[in-house]
Amino acid sequence: MSENDEQKRQYELAELMNLVEIACATLNEGSLAGKSHKIMSAYLSEVLKLLIANDYANLEIGKLLNSTTTFANINEYLNVERKPPLSVTIPQEWYHKRLHT
């Protein structure tokens, strides 16, 4: 893979994570209700499962953390108590920088 291809791949992952962050913020602030809330919650759960199962994503997402507020809405979304609980657990590597800054 060329350096340009790798940079493009990293950029696209960063953009995907930014979209997930926005979706989590929307749910966290209660902007969605009813069916749209259920659809977005299901979508986020599936996207996060796919990202967690992807070796490349697991290596790169930790590198995207620039500060303690990077992906704060994802973290907040995952820490809200739900019934039934989410079936997603974010790897600690994703928050290594957050824990040490």
Q: Which residue has the higher pLDDT, 71 or 1?
A: 71
Cβ within 8 Å of residue 76, ≥6 positions away: 24, 28
Residue in 28, 87, 26 with CA at minimum distance from that of residue 52: 87
User: Which pLDDT does position 59 carry in this prediction?
Assistant: 86
Does position 101 have pLDDT exceeding 50, yes or no?
no
Q: What pLDDT is recorded for position 77?
A: 87
Please list, in sequence order, all residues whose beta carbon lies within 8 angstroms of the beta carbon of residue 9, skipping any fewer than 6 positions away.
1, 56
CA dist 21 and 77 (Å) reads 9
Q: How far apart are CA 18 and CA 12, in angstroms?
A: 10
More confident of the two residues 58 and 91:
58
Query: What per-residue confidence (pLDDT) applies to 73?
Result: 92
